[in-house]
Structure 1
Amino acid sequence: MAKKMLVVSAHGADWCTRSGGTILKYVKKGWEVTVFAYTFGEHGESGAYWKNHPGTNVEEVKDCRKQEAQNAAKFLGVKEIHFFDCGDYPLVLSADQIRDLGHRILKLRPDVVLTHWIDDPFNMDHEIVGKAVVRAISAAAMRGALPDTDPHFIPDLFFFETTMPHSEFNHFQMDTYVDIGDVFEQKIEAVKLFAAQPQLVEYYTRCALNRGVQANDWSRGRRPIKYAEGFKRYVPYLGDELPLTKLD
């Protein structure tokens, strides 16, 4: 049975810009990747579309952003992408919506979850989703969270980048780097599909280069790393062996 990765995103493009390279690497390994997007980013993440389409309306922007995200998901080999259309800027999630996320996690039973860091004053929508995922995962680990369903604990929850260059300001201290040099060009082609945010291409190229410099320093010459994505684990690693770095 294929292993499963769940990526939970505040806006339609976040999952791709922050973890698109990692997603593609796991897809190539045979993993099934599912994306949950809480909003399309129609209000706060679509400035170029609003500017270039005078007279447009929210529904048209949503349709555009949804199509962009679907195209990127297909390009990267994502199995499913689901849109919850909760409205952005501000995104507000209720206890029932967090409970619903827990139920979805129980039904999907992913091996790994990627989502936003839980401290992001620069973009509170991201913080709201990150905290919701933590609470939903905690609930899903409890028996009785969903009747007649076994609990499902996910120790491998990873937070991806906050909005660069604010990662350090937001107390995001990554402890995991993924070398995406072999898939970087494909990731950027996927990012280009989000035409309503043309600035993303240069922005996340710089981000990948910056994290690549850091990862390359840590590799100490064992592997030349140009592009990387950074993550932070939620809970410590637990296993029969130490989590040794794999570069050879």
Structure 2
Amino acid sequence: MDSPISEWVVAESSVWLSRVRSTAEPAISTVSDVLCTRLVHDETPQRELLKRSVLRKERSRLLPERDVRAPVPSRRGELFYRWQRRMNCMPRFDARIPEEPLSVLVFGAHFDDCEVRFGGTATKYRELGHEVTLVCMTNGEAGHYKQGGATLAQRRRAEADAAASHIGAEYVAFDNPEGELRPSIDNRNEIIELIREIEPDLVFTHRPNDYHPDHRYTSQLVQDAAYMVTVPNICPQTPHLDYNPVMCYLPDSFEKPYPLDPDVVIDIDGEMETKLDMLHEYTSQMYEWLPYNIGMLDEVPETETERREWLPKRYEPRNRGYADRFREELKDEYGEEHGSQVTYAEAFEHCEYGGDLTEENREILFPFF
């Protein structure tokens, strides 16, 4: 019992024994503080592993009902977050109540990303007379198995314009090589300037954990721009914003480090056909590249009519899955009867780097309920 690790276990036992028999959450909160404090000041690898293991096992024992899908922050992050909140170090802006019409700005990594993840909700905004701007962060020159370069880029840009025309949305495209997007200062500054130019009430983008590097870096770039749009000496050639736009993540099905935890779930039953019409414009993607990439090119019909009838088989299950997965949230939003009957949905998670999403501004920003 004279090893450094054993000494730590003995010394720490008194902490556990004195608190673990009290209510579970206060015990864990207090012990977490002890372990986090030690972890910050003790970089011994063996001790760090032991502390993490002890805390994880004790959390599991004391809180068996914890939702396993919920994110568990790192011990360092947990401690720093508490300290930061206590010291009020996080820059905050008063929750902004926007005026109508709303301005909605959606950042996707590729042509079709916005429509796949946001097409139904974009349609709802436009039906109510709100402004929607779709952004593609790359130039579309790589997503195909036969074409490429400028020819493919021009084709995909034309497809995007045709898709946006179904709802009267604007499309903006950056000239970053597809598959090579970087989270650079130059790219961040371009996003800052665009956000300032558009002056959006709501900004949407990918979540930061995704299979495609362009998706991940789009998310990072937009998040990094969130606060910086308010700093006058950053990109001083464009007037800074006096507010931090509310930011939300687009939906996906990835589970790690945590699954989508939506703050808003929207019924798109009435907009699903328009969404499919928008996707149908992406011939190079819906009927060529993506089927080729997943080994089902031989299933794609030949004629336009047959393809449009085939398209729902590929894309309706995604939005049906969101409706089933977030059924309880739909019931909360629309009531028991309506929420139980929704077939297709899109779901969005608030990003804390943007402006606050409150009960008051939520009703204005998402005027669908």
TM-score of the superposed pair, with normalisation by structure 1:
0.84
Aligned residues: 235
Q: How much has 1:20 moved relative to structure 2?
A: 0.5
CA pair 9-203 structure 1, distance change in 2 beyond 3 A: same
Return closer, same or farther for 1:197/1:111 CA change in 2, 3 Å cut-off: same
Structure 2 match to 1:214: 325
Match of 1:125 in 2: 214
What is the distance in 2 between the residues matched to 1:110 and 1:228?
Answer: 23
Q: 1:61 to 1:246 in 2, by over 3 A?
A: closer
Q: Check the 8 A contact 1:161/1:167 in 2, yes or no.
A: no
Cα contact 1:161–1:172 (8 A) shared by 2: no
Shift of 1:184: 0.6
Task: Answer with 144-153 or 191-200: which moved more.
Answer: 144-153
How has the CA–CA distance of structure 1 residues 113 and 240 changed in structure 2, closer, same or farther, with 3 Å as cutoff? closer
Instruction: Indicate if the aligned counterparts of 2:107 and 2:203 stay in contact, CA closer than 8 A.
Output: yes
Question: Which secondary structure state, in structure 1, belongs to the residue aligned with residue 285 of structure 2?
Answer: coil
Determine the structure 2 residue equivalent to 1:68.
Answer: 159
| Letter of the structure 2 residue corresponding to residue 225 of structure 1 | V
The answer as to whether partners of 1:215 and 1:225 remain within 8 angstroms in 2 is: no
Does the CA contact (< 8 Å) of 2:251 and 2:260 recur in 1? Answer: no
Q: Which structure: greater helix fraction?
A: 2
In structure 2, distance between residues paired with 1:111 and 1:19: 16
Match of 2:251 in 1: 161
1:186-213 deviation per Cα after TM superposition (whole angstroms, max 9, x unaligned):
1011111111122674443111010111
Q: Which runs of 5+ in 1 are unaligned?
A: 51-55
Q: State how far apart, in whole Å, the 2-side matches of 1:238 and 1:124 are.
A: 32
Following TM superposition, the consecutive aligned residue runs of length 4 or more in structure 1 with deviations greater than 4 angstroms are 239-243, 245-248
| CA shift digits 1:20-46 (9 cap, x unpaired) | 001010011111111221114331x33
Asked if 2 retains the 8 angstrom alpha-carbon contact of 1:6 and 1:34, the reply is yes
Closer/same/farther in 2, CA of residues 187 and 132 from structure 1, 3 Å limit: same
Alignment of 1:163-178 (within 5 A): 166-169=253-256, 171-175=258-262, 176-178=264-266
Counterparts in 2 of 1:170 and 1:74: CA distance versus 1, 3 Å: farther
1:6 Cα offset (Å): 0.5
User: Is 1:46 matched with 2:144?
Assistant: yes
Q: Which residue of 1 aligns with 2:223?
A: 134
Q: Could you tell me how far 1:14 is from its partner in structure 2?
A: 0.3
Q: Are residues 222 and 215 of structure 1, via their aligned partners in 2, closer, same or farther at CA, if it must alter by over 3 Å?
A: farther
CA distance in 1, matches of 2:203, 2:362: 21
Q: 2-side partners of 1:125 and 1:247: how far apart? A: 31
Normalized against structure 2, the TM-score is what? 0.58
Contact 2:121 2:268 in 1 (8 A): yes
User: Aligned pair in 2 of structure 1 residues 180, 144: CA closer, same or farther (>3 Å)?
Assistant: same
The partner residue of 2:271 within 169, 176, 183 is 183
Q: 1:170 and 1:64 mapped to 2: Cα distance?
A: 36
Query: Residue 184 of structure 2 corresponds to which residue in structure 1?
Result: 94
Asked if the contact 1:39/1:83 (under 8 Å) is kept, the reply is: yes
Q: 1:237 aligns with which of 327, 343, 357?
A: 357
Q: What RMSD in Å do the two structures reach over aligned CA positions?
A: 2.5
Computing the radius of gyration from Cα coordinates, the structure with the larger value is: 2
Counterpart residue number, 1:53 = none
Which one-letter code corresponds to 1:114 in the other structure? F
The letter of the residue matching 1:195 is T
Higher RCO structure, 1 or 2 (CA under 8 Å, sep 6+)? 1
Q: 1:108 aligns with which of 189, 198, 215?
A: 198
- The one-letter amino acid paired with 1:112 is L
Deviation, structure 1 residue 57: 3.9
Assess if the C-alpha contact under 8 Å between 1:109 and 1:152 holds in 2: no
Look up the equivalent residue of 2:345 and give its one-letter code.
A
Partner of 1:151: 241
Identical pairs, percent: 24
State the alpha-carbon separation in 2 of the partners of residues 12 and 20 from structure 1: 12
Q: Structure 1 residues 202-211 or 109-118, which shifts more? A: 202-211
Deviations 1:64-115 (A, max 9, x none): 111111100111220x211112011132242022012101111211000111
Which residue type is aligned with residue 223 of structure 2?
V
Letter of the 1:99 partner, please give it. Answer: N
**SS of residue paired to 2:123:** helix
